[in-house]
Amino acid sequence: MFTKILIANRGEIACRVIATAKRMGIQTVAVYSEADANARHVELADEAYLLGPAASKASYLLADKIIDVAKASGAQAIHPGYGFLSENESFAKRVEEEGLVFIGPKHQAIAAMGDKIASKNLAQKAQVNTIPGHNEAIPSAAEAVEIAKRIGFPVMIKASAGGGGKGLRVAYSEAEALEGFTACQNEARNSFGDDRIFIEKFIEDPRHIEIQVLGDSHGHLIYLNERECSIQRRHQKVIEEAPSSFITEKTRAAMGEQAVALAKAVQYQSAGTVEFVVGRDQGFYFLEMNTRLQVEHPVTEAITGVDLVEWMIRIAAGERLSIEQSQVKKEGWAFECRINAEDPFRQFLPSTGRLVRFEPPKTSMRAAHPDERLGVRVDTGVEEGGEIPVYYDSMIAKLIVHAPDRLSAIEKMREALNAFAIRGIHTNIPFQAALLAHPQFIAGDFNTGFIAEHFPTGFKSEMVKHPDPGFLIALAAFVQRKTRERAKGMSGQLSGYDIQHDSELTVVELLGSGETVHHAVKYSDLPGQNQDPQGVESVIEVSAQKYDIQSHSNLNDIVIEGTLNGKPFVAQVDRNLPKNPMAIQISHAGARIVCLVLSNRTAELYRLMPIKAPPDLSKFLISPMPGLLTQVHVSAGQKVLAGEKLAVIEAMKMENVLLASADGVVKSLNAKVGESLSVDQVILEFHG
């Protein structure tokens, strides 16, 4: 067994590998960029070495420097995590050539599975189901149209070297096939330096289901059940679960056996994942093989009790896999939500900055401790006070739950999301909560087009319907009233001006449009023995509905825990809001309200207040996110037309193109190419 390994990665996956290595008594070496000098993985490792500047190509992609660090530190092996160099066959080969061990498959396997055309041909030879299509590189758009006609529409046009949604189009007609081929070829050439394109049949109502495989260097291979990864946004997974509620035991076994057959065909040694697309008839077809650890591996660990990182290390050290196929467990149900630094209410634009608060829910499971089951686990690479940089992926944490069955796992995940408090940046937690509350998701009735179908224009706060809106109003009244009660106990108040308590209040809900909704509230504390000596208990009446709320939480806590009519709840309360310090925000189950809790007389006067009109910003081009201004396509005095490209901002490995919303003439440029922009910073101004 190794005594020291280097982790050639950052963020939560670097921390995840460190956790298992520590449990195994193996020392760890971290590498980091200048942007990650104070990152959590640097703090957790036994040693840490600077690679270079923030950009990945100047740090985490420097294969030679990473190998040099490994040798200088005395590490015997390198774990690549996922992303960066994890599926780079040249890197894996170089590691072995330098006398080190690559904790992953052999470079030949990476090469065989890294090319989509070659991997599909190999899968066919291994008698793995493949989607009908043309597996050779197609030379021209005209020939692509003819091939598509022979296969039958709809077809999927894919770049051989594609990934992450790039180089991918679905065509339902000859015209779309012609246009899609050209677009895919251009994207693939620019993104991957490889413009080979192939075409295959598009499976309607598809599910994305993947099989986890594990193989050692002695020819022993097993599969560890499946993961359901159909909830995707723009081809990026959002929620994963294990097992799948869709496939039958017969389909599961058939998929597992074919995944093992493919892995055997390339003499696979490590943890790997074979991805399938599954149709509504349970017909399944090979998509690709990921020759690395997957982001969503914790859900498999939860239902099987197998530490996949541990076995990657043991297999790399030459150990035999001690698990037989018949011993693989499938116990309970697990979900994973990817917590991303992005603003779901602004088209999921990247959100960067300092983590002013980072309070994960209470955990009862830990990475690298597979014996801890049926609970909550958080895998993360960030800490409170840390900085979320613009240079890397937007995922900052993974929230994992494990429960006896699917419905209880959904409920546990919803509770955990309610308790996950992050401030300073925006996250996709409200969107995750909305997905988990959707009736079709709860019923397991979805496919890969679920998000596109139900949120075609993006995600807006009004799309989230709280199951009991009165509770949000009641909790706002409860929190504000208890704050007032504490203030009433302060000494030194002037006679006649001391704080009074009213049993009748008005909660004024502030809508985004500037309009308000007034809710009448009756408030009373429970007397006598019902009063909890350790907390507070009150009854709030909203629209003839009574809410018995009890809580032990401190009044200044963001996360409020308590009981509602005897049942536990967790919600979040924000005070001193930037745009209205008098207001409070209540968040629960993905829904949120901003409101004022007032006496009835004050509420009457508030109705008379004029609504302040928002400023006219139409003559400015404003940065919608923090990021790097990489391109400006106009100059002062230039006439532009609506829809014309104005500028490009790069943030979190994504390019965001800003277009003109109307015709106009550029008055001035207020930012320069190469400048780091803050959110709402003016890039250019038009003549009024």
Residues serving a catalytic function are 288
**Among 309, 280, 317, which Cα is nearest to 100's?**
317
Contact 314, 320 (CB under 8 A): no
Helix (H) or strand (E) holding 181: helix 174-192
Provide the token pair at 219. Answer: 């020819």
Q: Indicate the burial class of 104 (C-beta count within 10 angstroms; 0-12, 13-18, 19 or more).
A: buried
Helix (H) or strand (E) holding 537: strand 536-542
Provide the token pair at 499. Answer: 């704080």
Planar angle of CA 139, 135, 91, nearest 5 degrees: 95
Q: Measured between alpha carbons, how far is 528 from 531 in angstroms, rounded to an integer? A: 6
Contact 135, 117 (CB under 8 A): yes
- The identity of residue 188, as a single letter, is A
Whether the link from the prior residue into 243 is cis, omega within 30° of 0, is yes
Contact 377, 365 (CB under 8 A): yes
**Among 137, 16, 105, which Cα is nearest to 397's?**
16
Q: Measured between alpha carbons, how far is 514 from 388 in angstroms, rounded to an integer? A: 32
Instruction: Tell me the backbone φ, ψ of residue 626, rounded to 5 degrees.
Output: -75, 140
Planar angle of CA 511, 343, 478, nearest 5 degrees: 45
Distances (CA, A) of 509 to 460, 476, 519, 599, 606: 17, 10, 8, 14, 12
Contact 583, 577 (CB under 8 A): yes
**Among 537, 471, 477, which Cα is nearest to 503's?**
477
Contact 515, 535 (CB under 8 A): no
Contact 644, 666 (CB under 8 A): no
Cα four-point dihedral sign 512, 516, 517, 519: positive
Q: How many residues are recorded in the chain?
A: 688
Q: Measured between alpha carbons, how far is 426 from 359 in angstroms, rounded to an integer? A: 14
Contact 650, 350 (CB under 8 A): no
**Among 610, 632, 607, 613, which Cα is nearest to 682's?**
632
Which alpha helices (H) appear in 369-438, and where do they start and end? 406-419, 429-437
- Helix axis angle for 429-437 and 406-419, nearest 10°, is 150
Q: Measured between alpha carbons, how far is 240 from 229 in angstroms, rounded to an integer? A: 5
> 285-289: long-range contacts at Cβ-Cβ below 8 A with a sequence spacing of 24 or more?
285/129, 285/130, 285/131, 285/203, 286/119, 286/120, 286/123, 286/128, 286/129, 286/130, 286/131, 286/258, 286/262, 287/131, 287/208, 288/113, 288/116, 288/119, 289/113, 289/119, 289/262, 289/263
Q: Measured between alpha carbons, how far is 359 from 354 in angstroms, rounded to an integer? A: 14
Q: Measured between alpha carbons, how far is 301 from 322 in angstroms, rounded to an integer? A: 16
**In sequence order, what DSSP letters do the residues of 441-487 get, joined into one string?**
HHHT---TTHHHHH-TT---GGG---S-HHHHHHHHHHHHHHHHHHH
